[in-house]
Structure 1
């Protein structure tokens, strides 16, 4: 009869995970949601959470217990655009209001607390500080309210290979909405003074930072874009692609085939039913057909079989490729674990 913060552990960032302590890490209030963790340069770890209040605590080195007392930030117009919820005056229009979904990170000695703001529907705003616990200064919006297909919007930020990326969520995929959200990402550059620029949602995605080698084993969950499919974990197999139905597809960008075309396509798949067909195409889901793999029943959804198909069309250079799945309409066709091309 309340919300709680739980903690799970795993040997990999993608799991499998298990409950670490057999009880909530912290519970007792309906606004205990949306936890985020930041580990500072000195190794100290901080936990933030809450809607519509902002709670914080330090984690012990074991990362599964709290160090000291839980605190609640004092929201003010200066720190978050509006005072704490119980102090807000009815009918007053404030600069902004913290709602939920905090994200804490650090860059060049400055701390950033990003969060969903404005109530419902939500936009993304942020505050900055010289320390992980404040005092905070409200800085403004990052992603203004716009058509994301969802009434909520939560975010995260990372730097990778010299680039900065802003993650958020949308309801734009088929079947999506406010309670059916998907992750999206935009590349951005901080302003010269370290503040955020305005970031808008797009369909283009981010620029590539490298190429993919198709002559080594590539996990099927290496995806630039997809429709219909899902991923599942297995302790023995690892992550694989499931829920493949007729018409679903996976797009993989920047595949470097070099100056000599491969001769064969190899994939590891599994099917408990009659299987289907895996088409490998370039340019689009209806583009030139490079290879076509006929997949039979393998005896089970995790009874894996490695199959090969000859290339139907030579391909060289850097290409975007599409795995297009075909078969009996309405039923699950097969699972897809990994693939490679063979010279």
Structure 2
């Protein structure tokens, strides 16, 4: 990450609560990240909300600003993957300014698909009340752009962290809350609701017992994630600040009665908050969360990670611990199809930005930076490599390596100056020795300062250099 120093936003909760968080943070130092978890490395991300759509996982997150000393969050981000390890950065299709009635705090939300549209429910601070309210944005695409669906809060009572669930009978529910837990029954249009907000009873039988807090006797803290699996309703939530762990309850119906089932993810990971999202995808079950594992990470500079798990035979969820390896790859990646440069399993030193040719590009590249793409299946062998590049400087070299940043170099493309950071040109170079399946490393070398940007890349098999079409 190439950090900035953003201004602070308003306080999330009381000063006493913040002091307790800071004390907890000092007890949980960030650990060095390895392997493929966290799944995004070039910005800090938090509050994961996964959505399965058309054989891809779309992941919606918040964005902790670099150097934050509070929950300084101005936008939401979108990522997607078909294999759970190589994640494409789709940028920010929604931010606080999308809601003209809001002034701050792009905190934990969730997207759900219905009626051929995508609805994003988010908590923000409303200008008129100076307190938290739930807004709803809508898009025709899972990657946006999103627009304010109704021009006002959908519901607002000063509480946070919406989650949305559509039951088998078509009835949709919006849940949210800290310190309480609320729900409303959404109408079929997903932007209005019937009846009034209902408070779910927070009983110790339903949500566990918190010790030493008469005003808050249960473990429920915030961040509910409600879903249904094999006829059983699950409510996964952040428990007992601070620091938080992830716990869950189950029920025979969408509004209860809830029965506390125990801990999923114990306290760990260098962040005093946690926030879960759970999905089934391509025959596996996945648990998303956040921690403080990246360099500079902590309670206000968090990072989203994922683990694969299996439910117990009786439907209970096992204990899940954070790892640096993350989820295994599903299948392989096809290097002979055009791949966006911002599709990354692990990146070092790079940033992303909107590209003039559409989508995002990888930029702010300096000497020694690299991108890892996991599990590229070269088969009998690639013969050439092409990349779409731009440089307002003198360019550099794009090295193609296998299995590590210093692994076997199978190709090297010279990147010239193109006269601008968005003046795109396709470069090609021969490739020798890229056979079988390998982790692919694109390593960038050159002089001082920023070298060049990369929009996409593609290998070719057979004779001749790659002749990839211009974007």
Do the structures match in fold with TM over 0.5? yes
**In 1, Cα distance between the equivalents of 2:318 and 2:424?**
47
Alpha carbon RMSD of aligned pairs, Å?
Answer: 2.4
Pick the aligned partner of 2:453 from 311, 335, 338.
335
Any gaps of 5 or more consecutive residues in structure 2? Answer: 1-129, 462-471
Compute the displacement of 1:220 (Å). Answer: 2.1
Compute the displacement of 1:208 (Å). Answer: 1.9
Q: Give 1:119's aligned residue.
A: 241
What do the CA deviations read for 1:137-158 (whole angstroms, capped 9, x no partner)? 1110000012x12111111111
Compute the displacement of 1:211 (Å). Answer: 1.1
Is 2:208 the partner of 1:89?
Answer: no
Is 2:332 the partner of 1:214?
Answer: no
Contact 1:16–1:234 (8 Å) recurs in 2: no
Contact 1:16–1:233 (8 Å) recurs in 2: no
Q: Give 1:282's aligned residue.
A: 402
**In 2, Cα distance between the equivalents of 1:299 and 1:65?**
51
Q: Any residues of structure 2 matched to 1:58-69 within 5 Å, and which?
A: 58-69=185-196
Is 2:423 the partner of 1:303?
Answer: yes
Contact 1:53–1:72 (8 Å) recurs in 2: yes
Contact 2:237–2:246 (8 Å) recurs in 1: yes
Q: Aligned in 2, Cα 1:13/1:227: closer, same or farther, shift over 3 Å? A: farther
Query: Paired residues, what number?
Result: 332
Contact 2:400–2:442 (8 Å) recurs in 1: yes
**In 1, Cα distance between the equivalents of 2:132 and 2:365?**
35
Compute the displacement of 1:55 (Å). Answer: 1.7
Contact 2:351–2:364 (8 Å) recurs in 1: yes
Is 2:228 the partner of 1:103?
Answer: no
**In 2, Cα distance between the equivalents of 1:231 and 1:41?**
39
Compute the displacement of 1:48 (Å). Answer: 1.5
User: Under a length normalisation based on structure 2, what TM-score does the superposition of the two structures give?
Assistant: 0.66
SS in structure 2 at match of 1:192: coil
**In 2, Cα distance between the equivalents of 1:273 and 1:23?**
46
SS in structure 2 at match of 1:6: strand
**In 2, Cα distance between the equivalents of 1:169 and 1:322?**
26
Q: Aligned in 2, Cα 1:113/1:299: closer, same or farther, shift over 3 Å? A: farther
Any gaps of 5 or more consecutive residues in structure 1? Answer: none
Q: Aligned in 2, Cα 1:135/1:334: closer, same or farther, shift over 3 Å? A: farther
Contact 1:157–1:167 (8 Å) recurs in 2: yes
Compute the displacement of 1:67 (Å). Answer: 3.0
**In 1, Cα distance between the equivalents of 2:200 and 2:401?**
53
Compute the displacement of 1:191 (Å). Answer: 0.6
Q: Aligned in 2, Cα 1:100/1:21: closer, same or farther, shift over 3 Å? A: same
Q: Give 1:44's aligned residue.
A: 171
Pick the aligned partner of 2:206 from 79, 82, 89.
79
Compute the displacement of 1:47 (Å). Answer: 1.4
**In 2, Cα distance between the equivalents of 1:8 and 1:116?**
25
> Bigger CA drift: 232-241 or 262-271?
232-241
**In 2, Cα distance between the equivalents of 1:266 and 1:178?**
41
Contact 1:165–1:188 (8 Å) recurs in 2: yes
Q: Any residues of structure 2 matched to 1:162-181 within 5 Å, and which?
A: 162-181=283-302
Compute the displacement of 1:299 (Å). Answer: 3.7
> Bigger CA drift: 7-16 or 179-188?
7-16
